[in-house]
Structures are given as structure tokens and as C-alpha cells.
Amino acid sequence: MRLLLSLAISIFIFSCNHKNDEKQELPCSDAFSLINEEVIKHSEAYQNLQQATATIGHRLTGTENGNKAEEFVFSLFKKYGFSEVQYLPFEANSWLRLSVKTSINGDEIKTVSLAHTPVKADTTAQVIDLGSGLQSDFSRYSENIKGKIVLMNINTLFSDSSSMNLHRSEKTELAIKYGAAGVLFINGVPGEVLLTGTASVTGELIGIPAVCMSLESGNKLRERMVKGEKLQARIEMNNYSNKIMARNVVATWPGAEKSNEVIIIGGHLDSWDLATGAIDNGIGSFSIIDIARTFSALRLTTKRTIKFVLFMGEEEGLLGSKALVKKAKELGGISNITYMLNLDMTGNANGFNLYGRDEMMSFTDSICNIIKMIDSTFASNNSSSAGLHSDHQPFMLEGIPVLAPNSNMNKEVYNCYHSSCDHFELVNENDMVNNVRFVSMFLFALANTNTIPAKHFSENETQNFLIKHQLKEKLLLGKEWKWAVE
């Protein structure tokens, strides 16, 4: 059976490379099997994440906890035998919540402030319900929004479920554009769960207060409005903001033949301060570290250079990944980045999302078919849907092909995204093991193939790609559209 598996994998690699490559030091058949065995027996991802959440807590950028997290993962890379480990510092605007009080017709309801809201605010205004908070909702009520506090869902209402949702920061940007005095978001998760996250598309402070309430509180407000009650909201908040220094952590695995071609596998290390960020994004960032450990433990040879990157500042607006891309452009190295793999809330990988790069599908299907031969539980669930709002975005905007594992975790795990219930108890050890071994196999194949089907896009190709995938409106709202607006 092992001989047949080895032969099948070897055939795949040769067809993928378009020619026989008998000089390859370690056939992918052996590499895939070794990776599988190594991770199952020796993975430390779960244990490392457990230690981090227990000894550090949250990993908010610019805080003492954030600094400790940076040092913690730097030490892990060193422990795993990486000689080239670097801090890549960058300056950012920090934001810390201090206090918030939200009252509706004099009755206080529980809310949490969204990031980059004002340092101080005390705003009272009538409430207007904008439903899902899509562009169509703002257009429909445009004449009634100015000076009001807008109420809208984080998610879309059932009646709008077929529409493309907007990010909370994009909805807030629309509220600012239409002259709203403040924003009341309703979370979509039952169980009195409060959600945080940035309300700013730029990472700079916005001028109006924005808070989030639970689904249950939001439903009660809407019931009162349906009965004809006019609601007056008062939002009082105090926050802190200042310039800080944060650090991305980068460990380099040198390539043997195409060392000037760089594959980045990255995910954000930082997390919000309401919990310990075990799911968002402990499972992704600590999987990356264990993938690096696996490559080092097996002394895997790769043609291309791999950079394992832990980004800070993702939650405040992709600050760390933007800083890395900016530095690469300044140093003339952006063209060397051939691919970017992003692991954000990635657990129990069961396939890969190609983010609109359909030219990678045949290659990816072939890799996943071989992985499935090694482990029949792997679903080969491959897709190609382009999106924004994670650390792949700055790379995608430069025309670099990006990819992310598709996850398969329990629903309650996703429900604790950005919330006070994001603790280590949600983490499934087997999910992390699957994540590490399957992504390691894919990464090894990508780093060793002679030709990667997806290439850098030109500026014009990138623009057309973003328009094709209906991302122009979102990028305009986020002030990230760098082309002329017709």
C-alpha cells in the first residue's frame, strides 16, 4: 500500500511540475508521509497555545500582553532551530477601551465599545433602524439619518441573506458619510454575546461613538419600535489612544534552488482584550509556528524560501501586514513574494480557498487528492471566493496570489469570534493537529513545484480582478481603492 501511495504522489508531483525531476532531494511521497507522522506524534501547537492563553492572556497590540506575545513566539522559533528570526517593528495608533454606558429612554443596556471610537463622547439622539446596514438601507433612509443614532445588524437580516454583507467598519463609514451621530450594532449570535472589533476603515479614530449590543437586546429594541415607541439613545464613552510600537515576528526557512522566490505563510498573533483570543487567532498563529517546527524537525528541503510570519495589529486594521508589504515595496522585494497563505481562525483544515485565483484549482485539487489518500477524512473542500479584511488583503492588492485553508469547526467556535467567550476551552486539539499536517503538506508541495500556476498580476490585472469579484465598493468605503474612480 505504501509503495502504491508513494508512486501515486510521485506521479502527481511530476505532472504538476510539467517534467520529471529526479534530482529532487526528498520525493513528496516521503515528505507527505513524514509530515503526517511527525505532526500526529509530536505537534506542540495545542500545548503552546494553552500556555500562551494561560500565562499571557489577551494579545492586544501595543499592550504589555502584546509585547509578551511577540517575545513568546520569537523564543519558540528559536527553540525550534530557526537561525534567522526577526522582529519587524512598526508604528501604529493604539486604542484601549476604558468605559462605556449606553441608555435607551433612560434605561441602561449592556454594550461594548468598538475600537477606534472617540477618546471621549457623550451623544444623545433619536434612534433610526437601518436593518442590515447595507448601502441600499442607507440610500432608502438617507434624508432621515443626519443627526440620528443608527441601529443596524452586524450580520444581514434574513430578508437580506442573499446580499453581500459589509464589514462593521464599512457600515460605520456609511453612517459617518450620511451624517449619523452614532451607531448601535446588534450582534447576530444568541446568548447575550457582545462583539467588538474596529469601527474604522483606516485605523484612525473616528468622530462618532459606535457600540455593539447583544442579539437579545437588539430584538427587544426593535419590538418596542414596531409598537410605535420612539427611542432616544445616549452613548457615553471614554477610551485611550496613543502612538505605540508593535512588532511582527518573522522566521525564515531558506530555499535551496529558487531562494529569491518567497512564499509567506502568515496569520495575526494579536487579539482583542475581551478574552484570550484562543480562536481568533490563536489557532491560526500557533498552527503556523508548529508548521515551522515540523519543517525544522524533518529538515525538509524546499526550492523556494518560506517566511513564517506572525502579524500584530490585524484587529486594528491589518496594520502589521500593511507594514510588511510597505517595507517590501520600499526595499524592492515585493516582486519576490510569489504567494501568501493566510491562516486566520483556521482550524481543522478540510480544503483551501483560492481567493478567486481559479488557475490554481487543478493544482490544488491534485494536492488535496493525494492528502486524501494519506488520510481519508480530509474532505478536499476547495473553493475560490475572493474577500477582504484579513492579512491577505495587502498582498492581494499588490497582485500577489493568496490562499487560505477552509475550516471545519463547531458552530459555537465561530460564535465566539471577537467576543468575551473566546477562551482556550473552545480549542479542539485534533482540529489543530489536522490544521498543521494538512497545511504543511500543501505548503511543501507549493514550495517545491517547478511552476506555480498563479502569477503576480499587473496593476491593470489587479484592478480588473477586484472589480470582477465585486470588491471595488468595499475598497472605496475602506479608502483602499488606489485607482482612479470613474
DSSP one-letter string for 121-190: EEEEEEEEE-TT--HHHHHHTHHHHTTSEEEEESS--GGGTTSPP--HHHHHHHHHHTT-SEEEEE-SST
Is there a domain that residue 5 lies in? no
Q: Which helix (H) or strand (E) holds 94?
A: strand 85-104
Helix 361-374 and helix 28-42: axis angle, to 10°? Answer: 60
pLDDT tier, 159 (very low <50, low <70, confident <90, very high otherwise): confident
Cβ neighbours for 211, distance < 8 A, ≥ 6 positions apart: 100, 102, 111, 112, 113, 114, 117, 182, 183, 184, 185, 235, 237
Give 18-32 pLDDT, tens digit per residue. Answer: 233 333 345 666 899
C-alpha distances out from residue 340 to 379, 381, 385, 400, Å: 22, 19, 15, 7
Say if residue 210's pLDDT is above 60: yes
Give 166-183 pLDDT, tens digit per residue. Answer: 999 999 999 999 999 999
- Within 10 angstroms of residue 292's Cβ, the number of other Cβ atoms is 27
* Residue for grid cell 503538506: 441
pLDDT tier, 480 (very low <50, low <70, confident <90, very high otherwise): very high
- Within 10 angstroms of residue 254's Cβ, the number of other Cβ atoms is 12
Question: 101 and 174 share a domain?
Answer: yes
Say if residue 11's pLDDT is above 60: no
Question: 259 and 396 share a domain?
Answer: yes
Give CA angle at 164 (158, 168), nearest 5°. Answer: 90
φ and ψ at 121, to 5 degrees?
-150, 145
pLDDT at 28: 67
* Residue for grid cell 494538512: 438
Residues 305/262, Cβ–Cβ less than 8 Å: yes
Question: 80 and 131 share a domain?
Answer: no
DSSP 29-75: HHHHHHHHHHHHHH--HHHHHHHHHHHT----TTSHHHHHHHHHHHH
Question: 23 and 147 share a domain?
Answer: no
Question: Which of 241, 262, 296 is at the close of a domain?
Answer: 241
Structural domain count, the chain: 2
For residue 93, which of 323, 327, 250 has the smallest C-alpha distance?
Answer: 323
Is there a domain that residue 7 lies in? no
Rounded Cα–Cα distance for residues 233 and 125 (Å): 6
Say if residue 444's pLDDT is above 50: yes
Q: Which amino acid is present at 127? A: V
Question: 236 and 330 share a domain?
Answer: no
Is the preceding peptide bond at 281 cis, omega within 30 degrees of 0?
yes
pLDDT tier, 162 (very low <50, low <70, confident <90, very high otherwise): confident
The average pLDDT across 459-475 equals: 97
Is there a domain that residue 413 lies in? yes
C-alpha distances out from residue 157 to 163, 219, 281, Å: 10, 12, 27
Is there a domain that residue 313 lies in? yes
Say if residue 94's pLDDT is above 90: no
pLDDT tier, 368 (very low <50, low <70, confident <90, very high otherwise): very high
Question: 36 and 73 share a domain?
Answer: yes
pLDDT tier, 485 (very low <50, low <70, confident <90, very high otherwise): confident
Give 262-310 pLDDT, tens digit per residue. Answer: 999 999 999 999 999 999 999 999 999 999 999 999 999 999 999 999 9
Grid coordinates representing 147 are 443627526
C-alpha distances out from residue 106 to 109, 159, 224, Å: 10, 31, 14
Residue 375: helix, strand or coil by DSSP? coil
Say if residue 7's pLDDT is above 70: no
Rounded Cα–Cα distance for residues 278 and 416 (Å): 10
pLDDT at 27: 60
Cβ neighbours for 453, distance < 8 A, ≥ 6 positions apart: 359, 360, 362, 363
User: Domain holding 300: CATH number?
Assistant: 3.40.630.10
The average pLDDT across 102-125 equals: 98
Is there a domain that residue 160 lies in? yes
User: Considering the chain, what is the average pLDDT of its residues?
Assistant: 93
Residues 404/343, Cβ–Cβ less than 8 Å: yes
Question: Which of 215, 241, 267 is at the close of a domain?
Answer: 241
The average pLDDT across 149-178 equals: 94
Q: Which helix (H) or strand (E) holds 266?
A: strand 258-268
Grid coordinates representing 179 are 451624517
Grid coordinates representing 89 are 517593528
The average pLDDT across 250-255 equals: 98
Say if residue 120's pLDDT is above 60: yes
For residue 173, which of 478, 392, 473 has the smallest C-alpha distance?
Answer: 478
Residues 199/112, Cβ–Cβ less than 8 Å: no
Look up residue 278 and give its DSSP letter: I
Say if residue 12's pLDDT is above 80: no
Is there a domain that residue 370 lies in? yes
Question: 236 and 360 share a domain?
Answer: no
Is there a domain that residue 156 lies in? yes
Question: 125 and 198 share a domain?
Answer: yes
For residue 54, which of 423, 462, 406, 485 has the smallest C-alpha distance?
Answer: 423
Q: Give, rounded to a whole angstrom, the gap between the first and last alpha carbons of the chain.
A: 60
pTM for this prediction = 0.93
Question: 146 and 263 share a domain?
Answer: no
pLDDT at 160: 86
Question: 45 and 146 share a domain?
Answer: no
Rounded Cα–Cα distance for residues 28 and 12 (Å): 9
pLDDT at 70: 98
Is there a domain that residue 468 lies in? no
Question: 79 and 138 share a domain?
Answer: no
Question: Which of 195, 216, 241 is at the close of a domain?
Answer: 241
For residue 180, the Cα-to-chain-centroid distance in whole angstroms is: 29
Give 342-362 pLDDT, tens digit per residue. Answer: 999 999 999 999 999 999 999
Say if residue 128's pLDDT is above 90: yes
User: Which residue range forms the structural domain that includes residue 346?
Assistant: 13-84+254-455
φ and ψ at 197, to 5 degrees?
140, 170
Question: 68 and 113 share a domain?
Answer: no
User: Domain holding 111: CATH number?
Assistant: 3.50.30.30
Q: How much of the chain, in percent, has pLDDT values that exceed 90?
A: 90
Farthest-apart Cα atoms in the chain, separation: 77
Cβ neighbours for 177, distance < 8 A, ≥ 6 positions apart: 138
